[in-house]
Structure 1
Amino acid sequence: MYKITLVDKISFILVLAGAINWGLIGLFSINLITILVGGSVLFQRLLYTLISIAAIDLIVLIFKCNPFKLTT
């Protein structure tokens, strides 16, 4: 069994924030990231990059915690 680290927990939070942001964009045309960081394009790109890295971390976590993995 794989132990979930602090980085994995932060990744969960970031990916959930990204999913909520996409839901708000789709439903109400409200970009939460723009509201949070203001008009700073640099900070927006930094936050979007962190969210995408967090998603990659969660994909890796899925493969580390694979319960159907066959061992010999």
Structure 2
Amino acid sequence: MQKLAWILVIVGALNWGLIGVGFFLNMNLNLVNLIFGSMPIIEYIVYILVGVAAIIRLPSFKTL
């Protein structure tokens, strides 16, 4: 479960980075939206899963 949570956190962070870069390039680089844009419910479920994964991983960040 921790490994899956870690992967989702990394994917979420990379997606947010692409959203930021896309803003300056005037492009939609939100990969979740590009992949699941025609299925908004699935898109929002992915966002929720990334958020839950971040919450799961929070205790491990205190050791940094």
Q: When the two structures are superposed, what TM-score results if normalisation uses the length of structure 1?
A: 0.71
Aligned to 1:54: 53
Aligned to 1:45: 44
Provide the aligned length of Structure 1 versus Structure 2: 59
Aligned to 2:10: 16
| Structure with the higher helix share, 1 or 2 | 2
Aligned to 2:26: none
Give % identity: 34
- State which structure, 1 or 2, has the greater radius of gyration over its C-alpha atoms: 1
Q: Deviations over 1:10-63 (max 9, x none)?
A: 001000000010000000241100112232110111000000000000013345
Q: Tell me the C-alpha RMSD between the 2 structures.
A: 1.7
Unaligned runs of 5+ in 1: 1-6, 67-72
Moved segments of 4+, more than 3 Å: none
SS in 2 for 1:39: coil
